[in-house]
Chain A
Amino acid sequence: MRRILALLLLAAGPVLVLGVLFVLPVTGMVAEGFVADGRFAPGAVLDVLARPRVHRVAWFTVWTSGVATVLSVVLGLPAAYALHRLALPGRAAVRAALLVPFVLPTVVVGVAFRQLLGEGGPLGALGLDGTPAAIVAGLVFFNVAVVVRTVGVAWESLDPRPGQAAAALGASPWQVLRTVTLPALRPAIVGAASIVFLFCATAFGIVLTLGGVRHATVETEIYLLTTTVFDLQAAAALSVLQIVVVVGLLALAARLRAVPDPTAQRTVTPVRAVRRSDAAVVAATGAVLAAMLVPVLTLVLGSLRVDGGWGLGNYRALSSTGDNQALLAPVTSALATSLRTAVDATWMALLVGVLVATIVTRRSHSRAERRVRSTLDGFFMLPLGVSAVTLGFGFLITLDRPPLDLRDSPLLVPMAQALVALPLVVRTLTPVLGGIDDRQRQAAASLGASPWRTLLTVDLPVTWKPMLAASGFAFAASLGEFGATSFLARDDSPTLPVVIFRLLGHPGAMNYGMALAASVVLAAATATAMLLVERLRVPGVGAF
């Protein structure tokens, strides 16, 4: 009983933070849907859900996400194998390069694909600009990294001996893959696929920049309904739909992914030399890499085009406010705002994330305690399941009046971004903390170490690297965050993704060029953070 009380006391801080900054805004947003003219009217939600446009939007969301998920898995598996099991030269660099798209700000990815597929772009002749195919391509571009990383890490720690035993029993390499390897990887593949589907279904920046009003998903529709049509009730109804579906999906994924004993999974298989029979896999990896690099290269080249020639004009223009007064503040000051915001969001996410990870991974001594811990675990994963747009809009309508008026607080945007980054931090840290054998702590205690000393000598040496990696993730995620920030950033101090989106919306060749240049700057900043993360990666640990 005392243990449970201590646990609850320790959890009180993070729970309070999440309660005020997450549950309150989201319920505030959802309540909009159920209350009409000051009365409780749940029927209105059903009315909204019966609209033909809503059906179209929902179906579009499901099929684009489904196709993008399947493609991501198909393209990601060979690369996961090649990059985590074969001694390819330059493997670490390629791995980091493949990770960049995932942390590229969604707006940047959207811009890159428009540049690639749009009129005059290298692939403009295909006529894909503004089609669902472009959206799917963008989603796949963004999510292949998730599959490569999640499945690759699992593949890395997969014991090769059952496969060898199967080969000795007469199974051909293809049969080994089908009957031994893929079944063993199933949890990782299912986990990756469900996360990818989730990311696709709640993708915002990509769909908004590539699809516009014509091809809306549930997420962009919520945005359009709130910002241009002001139909809050319909937006809230869609949010409810999205939350229900997403939470259901997350629960299902957690069940499918369940690993009996996480500590037993911490082996790392040494990579083996590349053989001639690996040619197909290596070629597939090369193709994926090329497909990842082309949009980025197009973006970089595009940013260097000035009036039909080459030059740095677009970059020099970043200190201006653009053609036709597109912006209230120059891009350079937006970059400064972005960096400052990201630093704030990072320490907040890390502070809460470390507490949460510690709480959920400590060994339980009773069934009641275990139940409390797993409930907390699920609770802290909730932000993963709620769209950033819903969160941002919820912030706007609930945290704008006493007792908690944060409208003018400079910490409003960082707080929203920290919440978006929190699941990433927790997911990076929990496998590491959970992988520490509790007997090590017991051994330290029996040798006379106080709990504080144990933390310092057993936990910290293992976790400081993942902690830095988690900070990098949080920093990159916060730099690129667009969904929630687009609601919350003030006009006079916007973040870089918001500025890029605004530049795209204003006519003028100069503005477009500036958007490209700003995208390159933003991409470079996040890529740098990610490269640091990749250097600090602990083999066999950490999903994405």
Chain B
Amino acid sequence: MLSLDDVTVRYGDTIAVDDVSLDLATGQVLAVLGPSGCGKSTLLRAVAGLEPLDSGTIAWDGIDLAGTPTHRRGFALMFQDGQLFAHLTVARNVAYALRLRRTPSARVATRVRELLALVGLEGYDDRLPGTLSGGERQRVALARALAVEPRLILLDEPLSALDATLRERLAGDLRSILHAAGTTALLVTHDHEEAFALADRLAVMRSGRVVQSGAIDEVWREPVDEETALFLGYARVLRGDAAARVLAAAGLRTAYALALRRSALVVDATGPLRARVVQARVTPEQVRLVVGVDGVGTLDAVAPLGSRVSPGDETGLRVDVTRLAILPITRAS
């Protein structure tokens, strides 16, 4: 189990990681989610032993890692773009850590075959990294990282260098591979989709601090403040009277602040809210609307595909309670 206690990392005068404490149980995948420049990559590098700490401790199973250099930590690090060794073939890349440990060559060959099968790249043994596509390179990097069964695998935006379709496919594969191998993993990313696709637990980081952490659905359902809500993919945050009106329409207890997903308001002729359609756009899943709601203002809403709504129409809206989150903030904060 990995534990970070009050970890602080400075670059000169700027504090990149500010007093961060996190725990990661064996076998779990933790995603650290935050915008670029929030210090998440520095945190990952600190765990890998590539950045010295200014204060705090990073420990594995209760043993402080401060004096342990990177190569003795038994972690594996996988970069955004794989960082394969360009002068080695795919098989040699995967076998790299095995050879360092002087594994017998017959055993190396078997393990390389196993790993390449695991990542779906059988027969790629003799290819050079330069001839692979981005997705293939990431798979090789993953196989290389898994080769010696590291006690922790560190992933630095493993999917963000890939295009959308590939990302979705590899995300599914990556998750099942990590679970099949029972690997503990720490992932940093700025993309909440990537975090949701891979992780069990989530820590949201902003300007060097962890602002919220917990099981992924908890964090998702109860973002701690407006910025976190928006970063997690909520479309709008309402406050005061506007929030009260929408909550009343949903039949929920009133609160000061409310975060809404794009699909929280659904067109329904009998719905409790009255609205006028401002804009309508067809997407593959549903019709996306921008509506003006009486006493609330401009909001997003959706209608099922095929519904006849066009700008200027008056319509009713109902509230989907699974698609909103009440924020634990008050007028004073």
Contact = CB atoms under 8 A, between A and B. Distances in A.
B210 to A, nearest CB: 23
Interface in B58-108: 69-79, 83-87, 96-97, 100-101
A168 B48 contact: yes
A165 B71 contact: no
A162 interface: yes
B75 A168 contact: yes
Contacts of A173: 69, 71
A161 B83 contact: yes
B154 A168 contact: yes
B83 A170 contact: no
Contacts of A176: 71
Given A168-B70, A168-B73, A162 B97 contact: no
Nearest to A164: B50
Interface stretch (A88-96, A177-185, A441-449, A535-543): A177-185
A162, A166, A168, A172 pick with most chain B CB within 10 angstroms: A168
Contact of B148 (A164, A166, A167, A169): A169
A171 interface: yes
B244 interface: no
B83 A162 contact: yes
Nearest to A166: B96
A74 B147 CA distance: 35
A165 B72 CA distance: 13
Contact of B85 (A167, A168, A183, A260): A183
B130 A165 contact: no
A164, A165, A166, A170 pick with most chain B CB within 10 angstroms: A165
Contacts of B154: 168
Interface residues of B, number: 32
Contacts of A260: 130
Contacts of A166: 85, 96
A179 B96 contact: yes
Contacts of A171: 71, 96-97, 100
Interface in B134-166: 141, 144-145, 147-148, 150, 154
A164 B48 contact: yes
B130 A169 contact: no
A172 B101 CA distance: 11
A169 B100 contact: yes
Nearest to A161: B83
B74 A170 contact: yes
Nearest to A168: B77
Contact residue range for chain A?
A: 20 to 34
A346 B215 CA distance: 69
A165 B101 contact: no
B136 to A, nearest CB: 17
A175 interface: yes
B100 A164 contact: no
Interface string A130-168: 000000000000000000000000000001011011111
B140 to A, nearest CB: 12
A431 to B, nearest CB: 20
B70 A164 contact: yes
Contacts of B145: 168-169
A176 B76 CA distance: 14
A407 B144 CA distance: 68
Contact of B100 (A162, A165, A175, A186): A175
A168 B71 contact: yes
A292 to B, nearest CB: 32
Contacts of B79: 161, 165
Contacts of B87: 183-184, 186
A46 B49 CA distance: 64
Nearest to A174: B71
Contact of B96 (A159, A169, A172): A169
Nearest to B152: A168
B102 to A, nearest CB: 11
Contacts of B147: 169
Contacts of B45: 164
Contacts of B78: 165
A186 to B, nearest CB: 8
A164 B50 CA distance: 8
Nearest to A163: B83
B50, B148, B150 pick with most chain A CB within 10 angstroms: B50
Interface in A164-221: 164-173, 175-176, 179-180, 183-184, 186
B76 A168 contact: yes
B83, B84, B148 pick with most chain A CB within 10 angstroms: B83
B84, B85, B130, B148 pick with most chain A CB within 10 angstroms: B85
Interface in B182-229: none
Contacts of A186: 87
Given A165-B78, A183-B87, A184-B86, A170 B101 contact: yes
Contacts of B101: 170
Contacts of B130: 260
A183 B96 CA distance: 14
A179 B100 CA distance: 10
A171 B154 CA distance: 16
A166 B96 CA distance: 8
Nearest to A160: B50
Contacts of A167: 49-50, 69-71
A369 to B, nearest CB: 25
Interface string A77-114: 00000000000000000000000000000000000000
A258 to B, nearest CB: 13
In the A-B complex, the 7 residue pairs with the closest CB atoms: A168-B77, A169-B97, A167-B70, A183-B87, A161-B83, A167-B71, A162-B83
Given A159-B83, A164-B77, A169-B71, 4 more contacts: A164-B48, A168-B73, A169-B145, A260-B130
27 contacts: A159-B83, A162-B83, A162-B85, A164-B77, A165-B77, A167-B49, A167-B69, A168-B48, A168-B70, A168-B71, A168-B73, A168-B75, A168-B76, A168-B145, A168-B154, A169-B71, A169-B144, A169-B147, A169-B148, A170-B71, A171-B100, A172-B71, A179-B96, A180-B85, A183-B85, A183-B87, A260-B130
